[in-house]
Amino acid sequence: MARKLTAKGEATRARIVAAAAGLMYERGVAGTSTEDVLTAAGVTSPSQLYHYFGDKRSLVRAVIEYQTESMLGFQKPLLSRLDSFEALEAWRDAVVEVQRARNCAGGCPIGSLAAELADQDPAARGDLNGTFGQWEGAIRDGLASLQHRGELDPAADVDQLSLVLLTALQGGLLMTQVRRDTDALYAVLTATIDHIRAHAPA
């Protein structure tokens, strides 16, 4: 935002974004009205929402930023500690456990937003593409650290491998949401890790 907010204003804005993110994850963007957001955030005046965001599309973009920070906050520490294939498998297990804790509902917060917005809102699609780029980059950095430690062949294409792993993850998360179990997610991540392991030095 261009304007400088007071501490109270920052807190109110953050509360609105967090409430909107939760509702949009549960109901989708189209199924979440600004009135729903105001009620969930405990904000009584609609003018406050429009003061901070201007319109719903701006709020949606703030939600994308919120979910990006949340997702990368979980993923980056795990991926930055990759020093073995066992560590990569520990990342897989952590991802699977998050879905189990959610009872396999909701899927990926970023993927769900992308499915709903990519063909409808070019600005949101650009934001989401940037998010996936950051996520792919975090995976790439993790695989590069494996490569630097000699766990991957120097000729291995970590750019391609990181894209394959992220794509497998997104497909597995979707299957988890539909099937209401983590079997497909675990299977596809395990198969992809095995594919990456095939690039280890002989």
110-148 confidence digits (pLDDT tens): 999 999 999 999 999 999 999 999 999 999 999 999 999
Residue partners of 53: CB distance under 8 A and separation at least 6:
16, 59, 62
36 in a structural domain: yes
Do 11 and 94 belong to one domain? no
Number of domains the chain contains: 2
The predicted-structure confidence for 152-184, as pLDDT tens digits, reads as follows: 999 999 999 999 999 999 999 999 999 999 999
What's the confidence (pLDDT) of residue 1? Answer: 45
**For tokens 């299977």, what's the residue?**
187
Whole-prediction pTM: 0.89
| C-alpha distance from residue 82 to each of 33, 73, 87, 122 (Å) | 41, 16, 5, 35
The CA distance from 84 to 99, in Å, is 24
**For tokens 């792919």, what's the residue?**
136
What's the confidence (pLDDT) of residue 7? Answer: 79
202 in a structural domain: no
Do 48 and 129 belong to one domain? no
- Domain hosting residue 123, numbered range: 65-197
H helices of 81-149, where? 85-101, 109-117, 122-148
Question: Could you give the 3-state DSSP secondary structure of residue 154?
Answer: coil
Do 129 and 157 belong to one domain? yes
Do 39 and 121 belong to one domain? no
60 in a structural domain: no
Specify whether the backbone of 5 is left (phi greater than 0), alpha (psi in -120 to 50) or beta. beta
Lowest mean pLDDT across 47-56, 61-70, 131-140, 150-159: 47-56
